[in-house]
Amino acid sequence: MVKIGIMGLTGCSGCQCEILNCKDALYKLLGKVEFCYFPLAQDNNSFEEFDILFVEGSVTTDLDEEKVKKGRKVSKILVAIGSCACYGGVQAQRNDEVTLEEMLKEVYGTTEFPVNVSKPKAVSEIVKVDYELPGCPLDKKQFVYAVAFLLNGVKPFFPKIPVCHECKLSETECLTLKGIPCQGPISYAGCGAPCTSAGVGCQGCRGDCDFPNYEEMISILKEEGLSTKDAANFIKVFRGKQAQERLSEIFSKGVLNEKRG
């Protein structure tokens, strides 16, 4: 029996809820796998050995770090699920702008906590991650596919094409041409583009597609009325360290007319 664990760190548990929404698939899995650890869904949990461990949430406390390090040690395959685990998530969007003390003081009014806290980090910044399933929340179909692949000894593979590709397939009118800020050209598809089909610009919650052109994306967003700073902040919302490193490199080269900030 394949042993599976689903762990939550600092996050909203939305990705775990999406997994629970895979009702029919979960029923079929129960005959082939054992969910040894899934505190959100069951009372009896064992944290001793996993064939596959799925981890949701960013590493934000010493308890998170201790937990994920132990999980890595006792698991054969570790999969980061959701944008918090893959990139640091929304809570990491200002890591490069302010100190931890400033964050805590602004949000909580104090820097004193019963646990040691740190700036939110992606799971891969702490331990080796074998696969990533990004999204806010993750796409439940991709979760099911990933489990099916792994149970059959196949490496999960999802092409990192841009969201624009899915808009073309669904014949969704390009929002950029309508003047609506949209990150589709640089964002990783696989969600089915529900936001753009509803008339809302892609927020980039699944991170970068292959070879994202940040410079051109910022130029397009500026044409739609955003300042350079606002365009950069828009791109950073879900991407955490992934975007911060790229943006830092771009601004250090001075390739954009307006200075950041």
Q: Is residue 156 part of a domain?
A: no
What is the mean pLDDT of the segment spanning 138-164? 93
Determine how many CB atoms are found less than 10 A away from the CB of residue 143.
24
Nearest-angstrom CA–CA distance, 179 and 201: 10
How far are the Cα atoms of 63, 104, 166 from residue 107, in angstroms, in the given order?
20, 5, 38
Chain-wide mean pLDDT for the chain? 93
pLDDT at 67: 97
The token pair at 243 is 């975007």
pLDDT tens per residue across span 23-50: 888 888 888 899 999 999 999 999 999 9
The token pair at 91 is 């809570």
Task: Inform me whether the pLDDT recorded for 22 exceeds 50.
Answer: yes
Quick one: 18 and 124 in the same domain? yes
Last residue of a domain, one of 130, 151, 172: 151
Q: Is residue 132 part of a domain?
A: yes
Whether 235 contacts 219, CB under 8 Å: no
Q: Is residue 157 part of a domain?
A: no
Q: Which residue has the higher pLDDT, 21 or 260?
A: 21
Quick one: 20 and 114 in the same domain? yes
Q: Which CATH number belongs to the domain containing residue 12 in this structure?
A: 3.40.50.700
Q: How confident is the model at residue 144 (pLDDT cuts 50, 70, 90)?
A: very high
pLDDT at 259: 46
Helix (H, G, I), strand (E, B) or coil at 153: coil
pLDDT at 23: 84
Quick one: 134 and 37 in the same domain? yes
Quick one: 84 and 211 in the same domain? no
Q: Which residue has the higher pLDDT, 24 or 238?
A: 238
Quick one: 18 and 142 in the same domain? yes
Q: Is residue 43 part of a domain?
A: yes
The token pair at 52 is 């596959």
Last residue of a domain, one of 102, 129, 151: 151
Q: Is residue 258 part of a domain?
A: no
pLDDT at 260: 41
Task: Inform me whether the pLDDT recorded for 258 exceeds 80.
Answer: no
Quick one: 211 and 101 in the same domain? no
What is the mean pLDDT of the segment spanning 74-85? 98
pLDDT at 32: 87
Q: Is residue 259 part of a domain?
A: no
Helix (H, G, I), strand (E, B) or coil at 188: strand
Task: Inform me whether the pLDDT recorded for 194 exceeds 90.
Answer: yes
**Count of the separate structural domains present in the chain:** 2
Domain range for 56 = 2-151
Whether 131 contacts 79, CB under 8 Å: yes
Quick one: 68 and 111 in the same domain? yes
Quick one: 187 and 62 in the same domain? no
What is the mean pLDDT of the segment spanning 74-80? 98
Q: Is residue 30 part of a domain?
A: yes
pLDDT at 253: 79
Task: Inform me whether the pLDDT recorded for 257 exceeds 80.
Answer: no
Quick one: 74 and 174 in the same domain? no
Quick one: 76 and 133 in the same domain? yes
Last residue of a domain, one of 113, 129, 151: 151
pLDDT at 256: 63
pLDDT at 195: 96
Between the two ends of the chain, the Cα-to-Cα distance in Å is 54
Q: Is residue 14 part of a domain?
A: yes
Quick one: 137 and 207 in the same domain? no
